Structure 1
Amino acid sequence: MSNLQALFQPLKLGPITLKNRIFMSALTRNRAVPTNVPNDLNAEYYRQRAAGGAGLIITEGVLIAQQGTEWQNAPGLWVQEQVKGWKKVTDAVHEEGSAIFAQLWHVGRVSHPDAPEQIASGQPVYAPSAISARGGKFRFLPGEPGYVTPTAIDDPRTLLAQWKQAAVNAKEAGFDGVEIHGANGYLVHQFLDSTANHRTDHWGGSVQNRARFALEVVKAAVEIWGADRVGIKLNPAGGYNDVGMPLKETVDTFSYLISELDKLGIAYVALVRYAEQLDPVIDGARRGTKHDILSTYAPLLRNPATRVFANSGFTGEEAARYVEDGKVDGVFFGILWVANPDFARRVEKSVALEGNIDFASLFGHGGVEADERKGYADYPAATF
């Protein structure tokens, strides 16, 4: 097998057969206007990318509760109106022959008490411990408020019910499965990271205790979907949203977690490689822990039921080599799907990629519904 052919072989993912190994990763776009309910424009956007050849689409982060929301126009999955909105999306994707998983998300300490949805929830900003993240900015809040000190969660088990209900709602909305967002310094990652989690109960301290929340969230989703329709996204290199541990502690923590996930036989683990754009400079230094993510953790996934997926900074040629060499089973691409709704087809046909992304509209137009199509669903497909 040569060149790019390895990417265009079908793949069994649990009971699903994916048409290729080129996937679309979660991309926050803030187009669920007027607020947090998927709409017809969202369905059009996802349909375009399914028609453009994505073997598997992971939704933008789908918030499991109104509390735990950073952006007012990011979609949720906690009420029936949202379920109905997502059903339009899943129907559109399935009509184009792609599979779609909902990425279930809670932002934890990187919300803000003045965020409109956080206010509407009537609850504080929650996190494993009362430790604020450094840095941060909120495009929709005046000034530069930065992150606040969150309220420590009294009993993390109360949040597990929210994850489980979101999994139930995702099933009702017609998704093919769910991905737990365990990366990039959001709630699940906050529990894993000893710089964000100073708990002294059985949810903090030891590697096993810090990994407990992630494993319980996965198990809650498995109860609803079965293990073969649940995945998780992990970014052991950290950095983003002020997380990151010393190298040995990082390797020990994620090696334990991934070994435990392997025992569960879930559908996949998506490993995010180190990337500078996900590793901010804080107090004069990079925050993350740079190391070779795939060579360190992929060998720990030995269960034949569990696929290894990779993410971050791949070219088509590099992705094909990794698949052909058996290092990974498939590769996620993110930002390239923004201006290339037919990204997979362009790769297959060796058609040049469009690189002119309208970054000013990447995260929406402030909820002005009439403007939301611009920079979202108006990128043209190539002529083949």
Structure 2
Amino acid sequence: MPSPLFTPFQLGSVTIPNRLGMSSLTRNRSSATVPNELMKQYYDQRACGGAGLIVSEGVLITRQGTEWPNAPGIWDKVQVREWKKITSSVQALGSKIYAQLWHLGRISHPEAPEQIAAGVPVYAPSAISARGGRFRFIEGCPGYVTPTEIQDPTILIAQFKQAAVNAKEAGFDGVELHGASGFLVHQFLDSTSNKRTDNWGGSVQNRARFALETLKALIEVYGCDVAIKLSPTGGYNDMGMPLKETIDTFSYLLREINRLSLSYVCLVRFNAIYHDPEYDGKKRAIRHDVLETYAPFLGNTPIFINSEVTPAEAEELVGSGRVAGVFLGIDWITHPDLGRRIQAEKALDNVPDYGSFYGTPGMDPAVGYIDYKVAVTD
């Protein structure tokens, strides 16, 4: 009997060859904001390695002062052309690929080169700074700043929609809205970062409006090939509400999302590191089981689970029907042939080089990116 992990699945309008997804992973190897040949090699390796669905690294929908230089964008024709080379190659190798559409909101810095080039402030739902942060490539390594409250959030929704138009031109099979990890969409959802008194803030319904209206705009472009990633337990980038408010907020959001017939919802599980006040003194993750808590609100919407999923657990979760698929992250960084290894029951024995995950100035960008050992080739 075949492993349930390695059975095909209808995901929106496309069929993925297996249920083993590659999570979005920030890697910082683009040429400024433009995808390049090295990135193509990286994605090709993982497609050859058995990823049924690849979600791209976060793709910036507009120029932003990220904590990480060399993050790719998708707002101009050059970027679209170079992404097309990657999507075409990945698809020819048998995988499907979604673009994760990303806006950082308040987790940007006005002195970062791309923010300066953008010529606009750091926008967020409210003028509330996230605690902490460290922009190592800016002189003095500054932390987060107080953002400018966006007066008309529909401007940002229009940017997401245009990014989807560009992603379609670039050949992506679908788009995943980054609604997790304390970035813009999450900032609208969370009452600690959204103190608005208009119809984009205050009540649960108002705080969920930005996510829902953005998803509807993406659906206008991609139809059923739209997904969202959510991290209800918070923690990262100074996110987290009290437990009851968290459950109330995400339960409402997911009930409404279920009406939209998305291709999937990715739920990020609780990660203990963001719950430890000794980690950096500012994390405030809210411990609860996201699958048990929120699956009942999603009806027939496929669920993918993410965060510290082991291959054995992935097998059980998919085999039991609790999830449609799983996303793995670090294991895909360190094992380009991860899918083939799991299917062949080979050890995951490559040692992570954490220092190279996000690129290091002056270091060969291929190191820790496309040089991990491959053990299974067919």
TM range (shorter): over 0.9
Farther-moved stretch of structure 1 (137-146 vs 250-259):
137-146
RMSD of aligned C-alpha atoms? Answer: 1.5
Q: Over residues 168-211 of structure 1, what are the superposed CA-to-partner deviations in whole Å (9 max), with x where a residue is unaligned?
A: 00000000000000000000000000000000000000000000
Partner of 1:113: 110
CA contact under 8 A between 1:240 and 1:280: conserved in structure 2? Answer: no
Offset of residue 279 of structure 1: 4.7
Equivalent in 51, 54, 59 of residue 56 of structure 2? 59
1:94 match: secondary structure: helix
- Once the two structures are superposed, what CA deviation does each residue of 1:285-339 show, in whole Å capped at 9, x if it has no partner? 7411110110000121113xx2111001111111111111111000000011111
Instruction: Write the distance in 2 (CA, Å) between the matches of 1:173 and 1:236.
Output: 31
The 5 A counterparts of 1:69-108 are 69-108=66-105
Tell me by how many angstroms 1:144 deviates.
Answer: 3.3
Deviations along 1:116-154, whole A, 9 cap, x unmatched?
A: 111111111111000000011122123331111000001
SS at match of 1:264: coil
CA distance in 2, matches of 1:264, 1:279: 32
SS in 2 for 1:109: coil
Structure 1 length normalisation: TM-score? 0.95
AA partner of residue 269 (structure 1): V
SS of alignment partner, residue 249 of structure 1: helix
Please show how residues 235-384 of structure 1 align to structure 2 within 5 Å.
235-279=231-275, 281=277, 284=281, 286-303=283-300, 306-366=301-361, 371-383=364-376
Letter of the 1:381 counterpart: V
Tell me what 1:42 maps to: 39
Deviation sequence 1:333-372 (CA, Å, 0-9, x none) = 0011111001111111111113412222211133x5x821
TM-score (ref. length: structure 2): 0.96
**For 2:204 and 2:84, how far apart are their aligned partners in 1?**
39
The one-letter amino acid paired with 2:312 is E
CA contact (8 A) 1:233 1:271 kept: yes
Q: Is the 1:67–1:123 contact (alpha carbons within 8 Å) kept by the matching residues of 2?
A: no
User: Aligned pair in 2 of structure 1 residues 278, 85: CA closer, same or farther (>3 Å)?
Assistant: farther
Q: Which runs of 5+ in 1 are unaligned?
A: none
Q: Secondary structure at the match of 1:197?
A: coil
**C-alpha distance in structure 2 between counterparts of 1:217 and 1:116, whole Å:** 27
Q: 1:200 to 1:146 in 2, by over 3 A?
A: same
User: Is 1:136 equivalent to 2:129 in the alignment?
Assistant: no
Say whether the 8 Å CA contact 1:67–1:124 is kept in structure 2. no
Shift of 1:68: 5.9
State the one-letter code of the partner of 2:9: L
How many angstroms does 1:280 deviate by?
6.1
C-alpha distance in 2 between matches for 1:374 and 1:323: 34
How far 1:9 sits from its partner (Å)?
1.0
* C-alpha contact (below 8 Å) 1:99/1:176 kept by paired residues: yes
Q: Could you tell me which of 178, 182, 188 is aligned with 1:181?
A: 178
Q: In 2, are the aligned partners of 1:68 and 1:126 still within 8 Å (CA)? A: no
What's 1:18 paired with?
Answer: 16
Count of matched residue positions in the alignment of Structure 1 and Structure 2: 376
**Structure 1 residue 67: deviation in Å?**
3.4
For 1:40 and 1:272, the matched residues in 2 are separated by: 30
- Residue 67 of structure 2 contacts residue 134 of structure 2 at CA under 8 Å; is this kept in 1? no
Q: Which runs of 5+ in 2 are unaligned?
A: none
Distance in 1 (CA, whole Å) between partners of 2:94 and 2:162 is 27
Please, which of 216, 225, 230 is the counterpart of residue 226 of structure 2?
230
Change (3 A) 1:145 1:68: closer
1:202 aligns with 2:195: no
1:310 alignment partner AA: I
Q: 1:68 to 1:251 in 2, by over 3 A?
A: farther
Distance 1:60 1:188 in 2: 17
Which moved further from structure 2: 137-146 or 9-18?
A: 137-146
